[in-house]
Chains A and B, each alone.
Chain A
Amino acid sequence: DTAVSQTPKYLVTQMGNDKSIKCEQNLGHDTMYWYKQDSKKFLKIMFSYNNKELIINETVPNRFSPKSPDKAHLNLHINSLELGDSAVYFCASSQDRVEANVLTFGAGSRLTVL
């Protein structure tokens, strides 16, 4: 069983479109995250949800909206896609936000905006 699964793995779309990436974890973790990894390989936190409540929202454009129907799911919806949105998006989960907080990552979703 995959611990953190995200779909789709690859997504190619045109500028201006709206797309969603889904994420599910079966680890029973309390906190889920969305990270963006750009071509320079920096991992940047976008959102974090703890028990369905948003607890981090870094300086991400409001075209990006996370939705967490329950603590096992954290989906990412992106409106009006731009070229700069092309990146790999990783979903992750952890038991909690405190010390020794090990993240388990999904396999990543590679988004290409043309």
Chain B
Amino acid sequence: GQNIDQPTEMTATEGAIVQINCTYQTSGFNGLFWYQQHAGEAPTFLSYNVLDGLEEKGRFSSFLSRSKGYSYLLLKELQMKDSASYLCAVMDSNYQLIWGAGTKLIIKP
């Protein structure tokens, strides 16, 4: 079966750095997405990786290793507004998105 694993919850301190991991097992691979979802709101797109390596976008970076079935989202200089759930999703060989359950990130002052 297809599976996306990510930690259920993480806590970090304002101003610090946090890394949210995602491992996947899917039928084929056509890219990995990270979305941010604030409580009670819709998911919004953060990043897309299809080749191995690091993609940097401001305070957020996303890394992919296809051979290891592994990705992480790195958030730097954490702000209180970064408190949200972070969803990892993989597009399989049929171009269907397989979603993880999300990691709830709690930022403390």
Contacts from A to B (Cβ < 8 Å): 40-45, 56, 90, 97-108
A44 neighbours in B (Cβ, 8 Å): 99
A90 neighbours in B (Cβ, 8 Å): 42-43
Assuming the contacts A40-B101, A100-B48, asked whether A105 and B42 have C-beta atoms less than 8 A apart, the reply is yes
A41 neighbours in B (Cβ, 8 Å): 85, 101-102
B33 neighbours in A (Cβ, 8 Å): 102
Nearest CB of chain A from residue B34's CB, rounded to whole Å: 11
Contacts from B to A (Cβ < 8 Å): 30-31, 33, 35, 40-45, 48, 50, 85, 87, 89, 91, 95-97, 99, 101-102
A100 to B82, CA, bound (A): 24
A108 neighbours in B (Cβ, 8 Å): 40-42
In this complex, what residue of A is CB-closest to B31? Answer: A99
Nearest CB of chain B from residue A69's CB, rounded to whole Å: 23
Q: Across the interface, do B99 and A101 meet the contact criterion of CB distance under 8 Å?
A: no
Nearest CB of chain B from residue A59's CB, rounded to whole Å: 13
A43 neighbours in B (Cβ, 8 Å): 43, 87, 89, 99
Extra pairs beyond A45-B96, A107-B41, A108-B40 (20, CB < 8 Å)? A40-B101, A41-B85, A41-B101, A43-B43, A43-B89, A43-B99, A44-B99, A99-B31, A99-B91, A99-B95, A100-B48, A100-B50, A101-B31, A101-B97, A104-B45, A105-B43, A105-B44, A106-B42, A107-B42, A108-B42
Nearest CB of chain B from residue A21's CB, rounded to whole Å: 14
In this complex, what residue of A is CB-closest to B33? Answer: A102
Nearest CB of chain A from residue B99's CB, rounded to whole Å: 4
List the 7 closest A-B pairs by CB distance, nearest first. A105-B42, A43-B99, A97-B95, A102-B45, A41-B102, A42-B101, A99-B30
